[in-house]
Amino acid sequence: MAPTTKAVKKPARKKAANPLAHERVAAILDALQKAYPNVVCALTHRNAFELTIATILSAQTTDVGVNKVTPELFRMYPTPKKLAEAPLPELERIIRTTGFYRAKAKNIQGAARVLVEKFGGKVPQTIDELTQLPGVARKTANVVLGSWYGIASGIVVDTHVGRLSRRLSLTTQTDPVKVERDLEKVIPQDHWIQFSHELIHHGRQVCIARKPRCADCSLEKLCNSAEKTWTSDQESGLR
């Protein structure tokens, strides 16, 4: 009879006494900053108008996909006035590969018209004004304000930021607005802009949704997620 092997029970990970402790949050911010120094928005743009339109187009698609269509779009319609006057079928053709292209074409043209008619062709610098543009909700407004104007009006919560924030026990919420509110309580305001960029890049490169690369993660010792694929044997006083 073949000898039986006894399964080795993997020790349960020690839960953080307080995952929102200042020291732990500071360690997370420090690790992200070291891993992604001077990281910027991945959407290609030259001005606030282009960033606004590109961010509207980025809904339900990738930044890479948006960056493939915006060169032609902005070459043909480089200003809010020209975009506002563009033939809608031509806009649909250009942005077709971004998905939901009919709704997006109407939104970007509507946004351009509001910019011309209400804001003199200039992209406003407040959440309340930006969210008056078709296709612009709070996340898009935060992207424009943070990435172009350097205004930390809030924290951009896309799918990566929401997912990683839950994995790091910084929130339990799934609604982006509620996630943002939780993060604003623990992330210092002078880190809001970079924190979003860093988490987005980390989510794309390391903390991948279906198979996180935990062995390569600079946050591994600070993370107690049940979705981890690997864990070090070292204990950290911040865990």
Known catalytic residues are 139, 158
DSSP string, 89-153: HHHHHHHGGGSSHHHHHHHHHHHHHHHHHHHTT---SSHHHHTTSTT--HHHHHHHHHHTT---S
Give the C-alpha separation, 213 to 23, whole Å.
24
* Cβ(101)–Cβ(110) below 8 Å: no
Residue 185 CB contacts under 8 Å (≥ 6 apart), including other chains: 20
In 3D space, the residue among 204, 205, 161 whose CA is nearest the CA of residue 183 turns out to be 161
Q: Supply 164's token pair.
A: 């990683």
* Cβ(220)–Cβ(165) below 8 Å: no
The DSSP code for 45 is -
* Cβ(235)–Cβ(15) below 8 Å: no
Q: Supply 37's token pair.
A: 């120094």
What does R_g of the chain's alpha carbons equal in angstroms?
A: 21
